[in-house]
Structure 1
């Protein structure tokens, strides 16, 4: 093999190996309703295992952005990519199959089934047995269901009807149902909403444990700032539909524009 040894010419360094794509990538993501801009050209990337908290005043567009990411709303412009796959035109169920899971501001569990059976149904949905779930769901949910209930500290309540749980425990059960499907990305939409002050601490710990111990990538909307400052790697701050800042919590809260957004008109 010929090697160029011409004096004074230094061979170009080899190109670095490309890294893995971010778990979630948004490019110019926008949503207009009539003449109103609800979400305005959002660019954001969330890396594998990262915890990003989405914050902003009421009406900033946070839930609208979540709806675009999860597929409930079709964007006016821009793209949504999940682990390198463009899912902009994918329905929510197709995004779920690729590893995207979401909770909502209101609890969504089978109130008349036990905690274990709820978890068992989620496991069966992943394995393709959900069409026969009424016959297959075991009273205790099975071994895999017990595992995910352990992760959220609910295995001791497997025989309790989900409808009898406190609101905080229902939130933990919802998280277990997501984990049963093995998601790469978890979208948490105000998980502390309606949770009693006494349960916020334990729910916070559960979410932190899931993130750290399971390596889940998390994007979370939440109004409890004291909770987010200890949980998030970065804060994504929205205001009037636009991304105002995307940085570490300390830098975000020291940003004059962020302070003005929270202390100003709050629109």
Structure 2
């Protein structure tokens, strides 16, 4: 696992404070936890701080630690452990997270990464010239069936081609990211088959049913009880319901074994010494 450190002091703000709306949200969130367990709110508070400022600053870490009565190092441990927290400034309009795990890689993630290098910056976490865009490669984000995909903020964009991703990046760069519909970028609903459903469709038309081949009139229907419909018919003793097992009928099993020349000693009982 790579070492994650806070950004340089030159880019760190002097202070941090939640907005009025976020401060009320943070107070309500802390109250959701039992008395003495308020520190459990550390992750949601860090996420809200990141959503407000775009990344997690040292000042935000210290402010949240004060709110929860935690040592600074404890909150720092959480922020540096989880890769969902951005510890350096990212694009102000979009930070593109490209999934590079096997399913997406097999479906063209490398081409998406090449586009990000060309369109945004040559290296991950490097800002473009205007500071509005950045990118990184991440692990699986759970949309494998719709690979390849990227995530921007909290939304995922799936079934991508380099051309479609370029259109999405241009839209965010122009401040029109909200106009892009998240989810699959092809003709499918969530993870349903491309082109529409292939099962559970509308009932088959009556005229189509009538055209099907019918049974010959002299063919007799065979009635099979539902309970026995899938049971194989064999002559083997193991499938003969008339024969009982030694566990349920020891006397009968002993008789069968005696006829077949097998020993009738019950090994489950201690044997007398001779």
TM-score by length of 2: 0.22
Q: Normalized per residue, which structure has more strand?
A: 1
Between the two structures, name the one with larger relative contact order (CA 8 Å, sep ≥ 6): 1
Q: Which has the larger radius of gyration?
A: 2
